Amino acid sequence: MPTINVQVFEGRTLEQKRAFVKAVTEATVQTLGATPESVDIIIHELKKEDWATAGRLWSDRT
C-alpha cells in the first residue's frame, strides 16, 4: 500500500486537490503497479510562516 505524504503551502482549491490526487494516483498505479484502492495520499497544508528554506521563512520573502 503506497502512502504518499505531500507538504504544500495552504491556499489550493478543492478542485486543484482533486486533480492532484487523481494524477498522483494514476502515476502511482502506472509506475508501481499498485491498485488505485491501495494508494493513500495525505496532503499537509502549511502556512508560509511555518516553512523555511536557507534560513528564511517563506512568509518573509517578497
Tell the burial category of 25 from Cβ atoms under 10 Å away from its Cβ (0-12, 13-18, 19+).
buried
* Residue 42 cell numbers, joined: 495525505
Active site residue 36: no
**Annotated catalytic residue, options 1, 2, 19, 51:** 2
Catalogue the active-site residues: 2
